[in-house]
Structure 1
Amino acid sequence: MRSPLTAAGPVAGLVTATIMGAAAAQAQDLTVYTYDSFVSDWGPGPQLEAAFEDRCSCDLEFVAAGDGAALLSRIRLEGERTEADVVLGLDTNLTHAARETGLFAEHGLSPELDLPVAWDDAHFLPFDWGYFAFVHEAGFDAPGSFRALAESDASLLIQDPRSSTPGLGLVMWVKAAYGDEAGAIWEGLADNIVTVTPGWSEAYGLFLEGEADMVLSYTTSPAYHLIAEDDPTKAAAPFEEGHYMQVEVAGMLAGTDAPELAQDFLDFMTGPAFQSVIPTTNWMYPAVTPPEGLPEGFDTLIRPEAALLLAPEEAAEIRGAALEEWRAALSR
């Protein structure tokens, strides 16, 4: 017995083509470039991939591209040939430079956000935020300022600001706190630094192996050990200069073949299904507080008395000079 479709001649061909076209649309792919730790087994990537695919009936692929600052370098290198539809993991130290490439499209969304700063950016939406800090063992007598740190014997692990957003955040932290004296601060810190790693994961792994007294990370890092490992032995050192903020963002590429799907991902990103995963996988503060609030344990974290954050345009303007101060001090 022949199928009614195969018996219907030209009409059947039209119907079959329509069905196949709908199936292809449903199977549309979305490629999101992000940083390594985001897609790790313990990071938010696996949970978020499954949740978004349930929502979109599409195939979401996260592509790890090193650390945050390396994302922008890759997008610049690939240009309009990039396979990325969305880039997730830049921050406000990089958004001006990213916008200047002309490769990013306006997102057209206006979600209500829970950030300690006002947000008005037509191209980039935040998905989490936090404060940079030096993390150490709880029993360690940690210095409470950059000057005290430079005068101490404390050994440090930091990340390369040319490839890592935490590394760049540290350079901006010193610059925002000390201005023209930043170069001298770096000269004082140079002999404390054990090594400079390409990204956060490498530096934090070395710290956990006991390779240094302190590692550049976040005020939220001790929450991971407390909540996930029932380990209260890690702490973040409060600095009297204040702490530099990081606001992590995502943006959609202007050349994406799936603009509606990319915009839907950004909308999903600021919703509860995404935001509720962030605190206990990315170990940062969510950009939109989920209905259930923050997990128990986040209330134990230090809250900086002063929050430092350069506007994207100002960060872009001083970035070159700040990097040169860092490079010159560490090359001596």
Structure 2
Amino acid sequence: MRSLIILGLGLLASPAIAQERPVLSVYTYDSFVSDWGPGPAIEEAFEANCACDLQFTALGDGAELLSRLRLEGPRSDADVVLGLDQNLIAAAKDTGLFADAGLADVAWDLPIAWDDPVFAPYDWGYFAFVHDAGFDAPNSFRDLADSDATIVIQDPRSSTPGLGLLLWVKNAYGDDAPRIWADLADNVVTVTKGWSEAYGLFLEGEADMVLSYTTSPAYHLIAEDDDSKQAASFVEGHYLQIEVAGVLEASDEPDLARDFVAFMAGDTAQSILPTTNWMYPAVTPEGGLPDGFDTLIEPQVALLYPSDEVPEIRDAALDEWLTALSR
């Protein structure tokens, strides 16, 4: 008994009773932290050098992340938010919840120039409709609306791909977008809350096509040795998405949060993302892109609205979408 007491006193006095490792709380979307997503590998790689406990919280899709932050305000437990995109940047900045990311002089490998000091890109891609090989896929929204093809899409109020689709149609067709949506309404099998649900329904055969990314077929090809999925190339062009990370102003670990954002732009994370998040890296890793990415379609036209114009355009496009799908 005495020896146990002495041992206990020794432990209490020992400098090895060190403080608990700092916790870094990262809000992100559900597919990021799935077993097949980048979350597990990112967590292991970052914790190997940070002397911290990286904890992901999955909150559905990107638009849901922003809604959660608005609800929590400065009391949020989040240190970093990972999974907003350029279409949500203006709305995110309006909350006043974000600090500068602390990154400068990064050689971003993006289709557009990037100089935003608050949000740091970590990957990017083009929205597209994915289908089975052999399916006679339409090559424009007009052709899709005129066809019998069935589609699954995501809700723009909760999903970044869903919002991307709204902006894609609006950018391509302008004032004619309401008619495009009216004609597309009978092609829509269902509208899901997020990407994971929609893609799952497509894989179960519930629709001919699903709103996803030009890079989605790479997953099937590389991870499953399955070349049966393709992305339809649309003559109007394809809308660009750039996913970003941001540091919360009220973070309890601001330096660690910025270290994580910098890590996401570094070679280790950028090498992980292409074959786990199935998007293009924001900075080309030293080893280049994985084999199989060279088989993907390459949009001839990249469509994009400036981030500060999106809120106003989104409101008008959402009204058009709701009107068309409620008929």
- Distance across 2 between alignment mates of 1:272 and 1:121: 21
| 2:256 aligned partner | 261
1:96 deviates by 0.5
Match of 1:94 in 2: 88
1:243 to 235, 238, 242: 238
Q: 2:35 corresponds to which residue?
A: 41
Residue of structure 1 equivalent to 2:162: 167
Question: Runs ≥4 in structure 1, deviation > 4 angstroms?
Answer: none
Alpha carbon RMSD of aligned pairs, Å? Answer: 1.9
- Deviation for aligned residue 1:317: 2.0
C-alpha distance in 1, partners of 2:303/2:265?
24
The equivalent of 2:133 in structure 1 is 138
The correspondence for 1:327, drawn from 296, 299, 322, is 322
Q: What's the offset of the Cα at 1:19?
A: 6.5
Question: In 1, Cα distance between the equivalents of 2:16 and 2:86?
Answer: 44
Of 283, 295, 308 in structure 2, the residue corresponding to residue 313 of structure 1 is 308
2:52 aligned to which of 54, 58, 69: 58
1:112-151 to structure 2, matched below 5 A, reads: 112-151=107-146
| Unpaired stretches in structure 2, ≥5 consecutive residues | none
Following superposition, the deviation at residue 214 of structure 1 comes to 0.4
Amino acid at match of 1:221: S
* TM value normalised by structure 1: 0.94
From 176, 180, 188, the counterpart of 1:181: 176
Say which SS state the counterpart of residue 117 (structure 1) adopts.
coil
How many residue pairs match? The answer is 323
Equivalent position SS for 2:275: coil
1:131 aligned counterpart, secondary structure = strand
- Mapped to 1, the partners of 2:117 and 2:284 lie a distance apart of 21
Percent sequence identity over matched residues? 68
List runs of 5+ in structure 1 lacking aligned partners. Answer: 8-12
SS of 2:223's equivalent? helix
- The 5-angstrom pairing of residues 21-40 of structure 1 reads 23-24=18-19, 27-40=21-34
Q: Which residue is 1:10 aligned to?
A: none
1:263 deviates by 0.5
Letter in 2 for 1:191: D
Shift of 1:108: 1.8
| Aligned-partner residue type, residue 266 of structure 1 | V
Q: Counterpart of 1:82?
A: 76
Match of 2:285 in 1: 290
Mapped pair 1:193 → 2:188 = yes
